[in-house]
Amino acid sequence: MEKIISTIAVFFGSIVKFSVFTLTAIATDLGLGGSLANVIGGIIGIVLFTYLGTVMQEYMIRKFPRRFARKFTRSNRFLVKVKQKFGLNGIAVLTPIILSIPVGVLFALTLTHDKKKIMFTMITSMLFWAIVLFLPYYLFDINIVVWIKRMFA
């Protein structure tokens, strides 16, 4: 029962923050079900925020104009540099790991309005990161969580 609840939590968490819940699925040893829940949750998050993103963005700007006014912060400058150098592909590579899915998709929507292109690029990037994170765990029994803890210890 605990594994089912954990898998459901990984699914819903992956809709917003893919990398954190990938590591959660590995750390809690959810197996293939947790991995699939993680990937499917990420795909649903990308599709959801791609189609609802412009509506959400317009609503938030209208509702909180001061909060969403254009500000130049260190993170905004970083995203602008990535946008200028690498475009949509750069944003897509950073979205599952560093950015969250909503932030990456909303930023991608400012680059292009081609929703199919955004979804294809984001889902491809997310699947790439899923392979990078899950493959060592399943094929070689390398626990990424322990490896990361050793790096920072």
What domain range is 25 assigned to?
2-152
- pLDDT band of residue 145 (cuts 50, 70, 90) is low
Give 98-115 pLDDT, tens digit per residue: 888 988 898 888 888 888
What pTM was computed for the model? Answer: 0.81
Burial of residue 150, with CB atoms counted within 10 A of its CB: 0-12 exposed, 13-18 middle, 19 or more buried: exposed
Q: Number of folded domains in the chain? A: 1
Compute CA 44 distance to the chain's CA centroid, rounded to the nearest angstrom: 11
Q: Over 90: is that where the pLDDT of 69 sits?
A: no
Instruction: List phi, psi (to 5°) of 60.
Output: -65, -40
Spatial contact of 96 and 19, defined as CB atoms under 8 Å apart: yes
Q: Supply the pLDDT for residue 144.
A: 67
CB 109 within 8 A of CB 91: no
- The pLDDT score that the predictor gives to residue 65 is 77
